Amino acid sequence: MSKSLDAVLSVRRAEEDEAELVRGIVCAAYSKWISVIGREPTPMTVDFNKTVREHDINLAIVAGEVVGLIEVWPGADHFWIENIAVHPHWQGMGIGRTLLAHVESKAAQSKLGEIRLQTNEAFEANIALYTVLGYKIDRREPFKGGTTVFMSKKL
């Protein structure tokens, strides 16, 4: 991320009344994948009211605008990343990397030694980013006519 953007980026937890905001970011971020996989990606189809109530969703904010988010929860021995989404106008600026680093810090503070996530095999750019950041592919499983890639990173 550029130093100027890094200086103005903040992260805070989503409030229960921000479900529509979360939905908007997720749908904007994932809409480009509909034509690639032939359906709405799973993150676009969740109950956002329930998700915001039950999960830890951290919002990335630049100059008062919510530009991305990461949804996580702690497991017994790892942090699970359910979703990471950055609005298309803000992609490629390091916001996703910052959100992943934020979760790594939370996992380390919680004394959890691993982070896990899954993504669609068709989302090659996402897999490439995760790999560069130290995630490894653990396994692949068929899912809705495609393949889910399970990845993890030891801390």
Instruction: Measure Cα distances from 98 to 2, 57, 102, 135, 136 in Å.
Output: 11, 14, 6, 15, 19
Q: Where are the domains of the chain?
A: 3-154
Q: What is the pLDDT at residue 8?
A: 82
Extended strands (E) in 1-135: 9-13, 56-62, 65-74, 79-86, 114-120
Instruction: Give the pLDDT mean for 29-40.
Output: 95
* Model confidence at 5: pLDDT above 70: no
Q: What is the pLDDT at residue 155?
A: 93
Closest CA to 112 of 82, 81, 83: 81
State pLDDT tens for residues 47-59. 999 999 999 999 9
State pLDDT tens for residues 109-125. 999 999 999 999 999 99
CATH superfamily of 3-154: Gcn5-related N-acetyltransferase (GNAT) (3.40.630.30)
User: Token pair for residue 87?
Assistant: 């609005």
Q: Residue for token digits 């106008």?
A: 89
* Model confidence at 3: pLDDT above 80: no
* Model confidence at 99: pLDDT above 90: yes
Instruction: Give the pLDDT mean for 113-140.
Output: 96
